[in-house]
Amino acid sequence: MGDVSRIRFALGLFALLGLGLASSAQAQPAAPSVEAVIELKNEPGGAVLRIEGTAPNLPDGVKLNVTTVAGESSTEASFLMTTVSSGRFRVVKHFAHRTLAPLNYGVRIELILSGQRQRIRDLLRREWGLPRDARVMLKKETIQIGTNREQAAFRIETIGRLLWFLRVAQDCVSKAGEILAIPPPDEKSAWVAVMRGLAAEVQPTFSQPFSAYVGTYVVLHEKKALSTLRTAISELNPALTRHRKGKTSAGQARLERATAQLARLEEELLSRVPSGVKLVVAAPSKVVKVGVSAPAPTAVAPTALAPTALTPTAVTPTPSTPTPSGLSTPTPRQSQSPAAARTPAPPPTASVEAPPPLPVNYWPVLAVLLAFGVLVALVFAMRRSREG
């Protein structure tokens, strides 16, 4: 074989290897992905979440997790699952008689491998080399409800509402402390009357208005504050029960713990009020309270810079007959009147997290090294033939 023939052979070999490398790259599967149009807004009958999406490279039967969170604390508003069918998926969630507060909401669409059926898990792992505990963020979008001014006003208003409930809770704890200060009656009927009396004060002044207020919204961003208020009220019944059993000191310890939790919460809420901003500590508007009167509304640091107030939806809770164990907060009602719809601002561009890296294909690299070795061998062979 002459020198020219050897060169032609080497060039042909490189051309074939290049074609093989290109076809190998094209054969690599695309990373799992979805395209979706997400709509989250208030409507006359309540808030609604709608998603229309396509998943061209996901097999039928793949389950997708759809999570909606609210505020900077990412308080969960809803969790749904949808299934891919013929390369498409759809979500429609109605929040009947509840409204979206003016906040920023995040909607996430995830593929969680552990939540798939075994056949689909094996298929996805072979296709993309995913680990067993893989969580692939397919899409994440932020949607703004209300203007920036409305959001700022709502945050201040919410602090005022929470401070009102906090002071009512402090009053309830104080009344429970008065019961612990005297010996419990010997007769069971007399003790039941005492428990009913306290429940008759707690339910209409705190539990019913609190449940009605929280139930007005899909979710509120003050998750920690709401939990602290519920926990403080839930301490009343165990404290009184211990007092009845002769363990008054244990009951007092529970009330002291509740008092300390409420004091810390009050300090934390007040620290978040901007200087020069009017804070009205008052009950939610038009919430009917039956029975014992609650603390009167008070104003804190009033100035001319008061933000525009956002009035919560009118809600009328149905009074219930108190029972000895009726001190806990009841489940939020679902029959409140619908809130006025708020037109959301156009959602910003969705930010999509990068999918996990694809498995490395080493065959193209080996092919290039092999071609390089063949070329070197041909060069040495041509030099030997010339020297010979």
In a domain, 331, yes or no: no
* Tally of structural domains, the chain: 3
Question: Six-digit token pair at 136?
Answer: 């692939």
Check whether residue 244 and residue 100 sit in a common domain.
Answer: no
Start-to-end Cα distance in the chain? 14
When mean pLDDT is compared across 8-17, 77-86, 94-103, 261-270, the lowest value belongs to: 8-17
When mean pLDDT is compared across 10-14, 82-86, 94-98, 230-234, the lowest value belongs to: 10-14
pLDDT above 60: residue 103: yes
pLDDT above 70: residue 2: no
Complete DSSP assignment for 171-198:
HHHHHHHHHHTSPPPSSHHHHHHHHHHH
In a domain, 314, yes or no: no
Check whether residue 93 and residue 179 sit in a common domain.
Answer: no
Tell me which residue has tokens 């969170």: 69
pLDDT digits 0-9 by tens, 110-133: 999 999 999 999 999 998 888 988
pLDDT digits 0-9 by tens, 293-350: 344 444 443 333 333 333 333 333 333 333 333 343 333 333 333 333 333 333 333 3
pLDDT band at 291 (very low <50, low <70, confident <90, very high): very low
Check whether residue 17 and residue 113 sit in a common domain.
Answer: no
In a domain, 19, yes or no: yes
> Rounded to two decimals, what is the model's pTM?
0.67
pLDDT digits 0-9 by tens, 35-63: 999 999 999 999 999 999 999 999 999 99
In terms of DSSP bridges, do strands 75-83 and 63-70 run parallel, antiparallel, or are they unpaired? antiparallel
Please say which residue of 110, 128, 144 terminates a domain: 144
Name all contacts of 268-276 with Cβ < 8 Å and 24+ positions apart: 268/225, 269/159, 269/162, 269/163, 269/166, 269/225, 270/163, 270/300, 272/159, 273/156, 273/159, 273/300, 273/301, 274/156, 275/301, 276/301, 276/303, 276/305
Check whether residue 170 and residue 193 sit in a common domain.
Answer: yes
Give CA separation, 5 vs 2, 12, 250, 371, in Å: 5, 10, 99, 17
In terms of DSSP bridges, do strands 75-83 and 88-96 run parallel, antiparallel, or are they unpaired? unpaired
pLDDT band at 257 (very low <50, low <70, confident <90, very high): very high
In a domain, 322, yes or no: no
Residue 59, domain CATH? 2.60.40.10
Length of the chain: 388
Question: For position 377, what pLDDT does the model report?
Answer: 67
Which SS3 state, helix, strand or coil, does residue 322 take? coil
Check whether residue 186 and residue 295 sit in a common domain.
Answer: yes
For residues 14 and 371, the answer to whether their CB atoms sit within 8 Å is yes
Check whether residue 274 and residue 164 sit in a common domain.
Answer: yes
Question: For position 139, what pLDDT does the model report?
Answer: 95
Going through 101-146 in order, the beta strands assigned E by DSSP cover 104-112, 135-144
pLDDT above 80: residue 232: yes
Check whether residue 12 and residue 91 sit in a common domain.
Answer: no
Please say which residue of 254, 278, 300 terminates a domain: 300
pLDDT band at 365 (very low <50, low <70, confident <90, very high): low
Please say which residue of 275, 300, 325 terminates a domain: 300
Beta bridge partners of 107: 68, 141
Residue 231's domain comprises 148-300
Mean pLDDT of the chain: 77
What is the spatial distance between Cα 207 and Cα 330, in angstroms, rounded to a whole number?
Answer: 7
